Amino acid sequence: MARDILHIDMDAFYAAIEQRDNPQWRGKPLVVGARPEQRGVVSTCSYEARTYGIHSAMSSVEAGRRCPHAIFVPPDMSRYAAVSQHIFTIFEQFTPLVEPLSIDEAFLDITGSHALFGDNQTMALKIQAAISNETGGLTASIGIANNKFLAKLASDMKKPNGITIVPYDHNAIIQFLAPLPIGRIWGIGTVTRTHLERYGYKTIADIQRSSVAALRPLVGEANAWRIYSLAHGEDEREVITDTSEKSLSREHTFDTDCADPKHLRAMLYALTEDVGRRLRASKRYATTARIKLRWSDFKTITRQISFDQAVSDDFTLREAAALLFDNEQLIKPVRLIGFGVSGLTTTRITQQLLFDNNSDTLKKRETLSETVDALRQRFGSSLIQHPGTIPIDD
């Protein structure tokens, strides 16, 4: 049966929240990140700032040079995470099949939702309207296709606040993909792209005209099949929800590779808080925490640590994330960062904790975390922020 997949990507998410909450900044070039006089990078920027060539992971010095009158504000990851939580509850009003990709994007499988909400275009418009109405005007761009790869490509076609539908006809899909650069194929990073370009592969059409046999000596057996299949619009991956999983995780892919430890840590903490919230919402505990780092060359590492006692509170999860992150040398710029928990259980056996917390302390941490969840849900995240989520200058 044909599937109907949406990829929803919030537009300039952090900057849009800042402009929403600070009306005096609307319509002006705004940069979320370190100030030019500080050592740091741009986290994201408003569309007004992008007209000056500013983009994510650019040095703040360069951003200030390109637009001296830009407004620079530090990231408020706790506030952004709370808005993200609200947006994901909107997604779940339309389908239970929601797969988070990062704090501001997700896949939705709406195949079974048409009887309630209409066709693909109608549903996309309803989701955009719900987001705007319930978040004070934030916008999202949506790609619609019969698989995840095509939907993600499409969501980037008409930013901001656009809807792009990829035709389901195979020949139309081939034509849609053909002119795109090969770097748009999932898994082709800078190194692989440069390597393939040396052999004449510049656009997806070049791969479509090739074969697995020709690609195999260049990228290996598994990658050859994957690249060739994606170039023809074939992607069998399903939308994976948390409810059927034995683990919970959240990842963020940077638009441009990031080498700023403060920004990486701030993002990691935001991801940790989101995983903790979802863990508590599902009334489960975790026995293992892990971080994931993908370098600029696409090499990926994971590091994990186990708890002697299953936990669900933000404090212990953040301690674990910090320990794993601090023990890892940042040898290259980071393309993706993630945090996850596994060994999920609905019960907890009382033992000594990894971080020398006794049971009373653990219970207090859990109660406080649940209280924070409730307060943020009711009053917004700016009411309470965990230390360290916002990068602090030296």
Task: Name the token pair of 344.
Answer: 């999920």
Active-site residue (options: 99, 105, 319, 366): 105
Q: Where are any strands of DSSP class E within 168-246?
A: none
- Is 105 in the active site? yes
Sign of the Cα pseudo-torsion (348, 351, 354, 358, in order): positive
CA distance 235 to 226: 9
Task: Name the token pair of 360.
Answer: 């009373």
Cβ atoms of 204 and 177 within 8 Å: the answer is: yes
Sign of the Cα pseudo-torsion (170, 174, 175, 177, in order): positive
Task: Name the token pair of 168.
Answer: 């389901």
Residues 6+ apart with CB under 8 A from 143: 6, 7, 9, 150, 151, 152, 153, 154, 155, 156, 157, 164, 166
Would residue 285 be called left, alpha or beta, if left means φ above 0 and alpha means ψ between -120 and 50 degrees?
A: beta
Catalytic residues: 105
